[in-house]
Chains A and B, each alone.
Chain A
């Protein structure tokens, strides 16, 4: 189709959607819309991981990012009653003009680095000539894994010259099984440390938000089920709800 392999067409569609939704995150006024747009970006990036043959990364992308972190964001938006405010209009002149310029400059730099790199010029091929450091690194990695210095691989091709840009998953086991073995052997110490980090973060989050809870002399302290942020903002749906309930109580 259009002279491209199917893989590349899927990639182009995914990346275009990811970029459009990422721009939606920046441009949309309502924080809820921004968050939902970010969910779409995360899903498209997960699709790219699948295209790369990294199913486990796609799984944790969907589960952790769009499943856990974004739900957390939406909960906080709900609790704080963030209303769609003027997001871009009353910006200070410097900020509104300077930020896109800096963004475009950074993008130009990144593209310059990528387009002049061996990945682009050489079609992604990594050879001993054009990138000795990377080739040596790959040789060392093969040495560490196999225990002997490899000069040729099983098919007789030199290991120093990589065929380039693609990872061919072994036929017998998938990426997840191999990575699981690696995670519980080579990365066991960072794995345990990350569990401690998660524990500390959970305790820290509870402590920080609890101390704020006890200090809050909200007017509707008994109406915590409706709003955690003190009196709801006038005009918001929560305020109308509270007003309705108050009228009911007054009738009684």
Chain B
């Protein structure tokens, strides 16, 4: 028996690490990876709560996880395409150098 709270704590730690990475790193690719990590932490919470509440009759939490994974895959495809086209235009994927709308 593993208490649900343990999963929640691990998921909270992973989410905070992901958020720190988003704030700290300047490489757009690594920022994107940190976003994926945050989504994964949220998925862990969903599954933990689904296991905790349902007793095998309610699969809403599992359904959420499947659709979050689907949207994450779609988002990764589009986001990486944007990063590729961005890198073609200005030869850098540093988040600080992306300031086209500034001037």
Cα A67 to Cα B90 with chains together (Å): 30
Selected contact of A179 from candidates B3, B6, B62, CB within 8 Å: B62
Provide the bound-state CA to CA distance between A80 and B28, in Å. Answer: 12
Q: Which residue of B lies closest to A75 (CB)?
A: B80
Taking a contact as CB atoms under 8 Å apart, the answer to whether B16 and A98 are in contact is: no
In the complex, residue of chain B having the shortest beta-carbon distance to the beta carbon of A107: B16
CB-based contact A190/B20 at 8 Å: no
Closest to A142 in B: B57
Q: Name the B residues within 8 Å of A85 (CB-CB).
A: 27
CA distance A208 to B82 in the complex (A): 7
* B59 to A, closest residue via Cβ: A182
Min CB distance B49 to A, Å, is 9
Say yes or no: A230-B88 contact (C-beta < 8 A), given A52-B7, A183-B66: yes
- Closest Cβ of chain A to B35, distance in Å, is 11
For the complex, what is the distance from the CA of A64 to the CA of B37, rounded to whole Å?
13
Report which residue of A5, A178, A205 has the largest number of chain B beta carbons within 10 angstroms of its beta carbon: A205
User: Chain A residues with Cβ under 8 A from B85's Cβ?
Assistant: 208-209, 211-212
Are A19 and B14 also in contact (CB < 8 A) when A11-B6, A102-B19, A198-B73 are?
yes
- Min CB gap A200→B, angstroms: 8
CA of A137 to CA of B24, assembled, Å: 40
Q: Are B56 and A168 in contact (CB under 8 A)?
A: yes
Task: Determine if A3 is an interface residue (Cβ-Cβ < 8 Å).
Answer: no
- B87 contacts the other chain (Cβ, under 8 Å)? yes
Chain B: minimal CB distance from A104 (Å): 7
Q: How far is the CA of A126 from the CA of B8 in the complex (A)?
A: 16
B67-103: contact bitstring with A at CB < 8 Å (1 yes, 0 no)?
1011111111110111111011101010000000000
Compute how far the CA of A88 lies from the CA of B43 in the bound complex, rounded to whole angstroms: 29
Chain B positions 1-20 with a Cβ under 8 Å from a chain A Cβ: 1-10, 12-20
Distance (Å) between the CB of B3 and the closest chain A CB?
5
Q: Are B66 and A60 in contact (CB under 8 A)?
A: yes
B62 to A19, Cβ gap below 8 A? no
Please state if A54 and B62 are interface contacts (CB–CB under 8 Å): yes
Given contacts A72-B77, A110-B15, 13 further A-B contacts (CB under 8 A): A18-B14, A25-B17, A26-B20, A49-B47, A54-B47, A76-B83, A119-B3, A142-B57, A162-B55, A178-B59, A201-B73, A216-B88, A229-B91
Cross-chain pairs A/B with CB under 8 angstroms, 27 sampled: A11-B6, A19-B14, A19-B17, A22-B17, A23-B17, A41-B14, A42-B40, A45-B14, A45-B43, A52-B47, A52-B51, A87-B26, A87-B27, A103-B20, A103-B23, A106-B15, A110-B15, A166-B51, A166-B52, A167-B51, A167-B52, A167-B54, A169-B56, A197-B71, A198-B74, A208-B78, A209-B85
Pick the 6 closest A-B CB pairs, nearest first. Answer: A103-B20, A201-B74, A212-B85, A110-B12, A99-B23, A107-B16
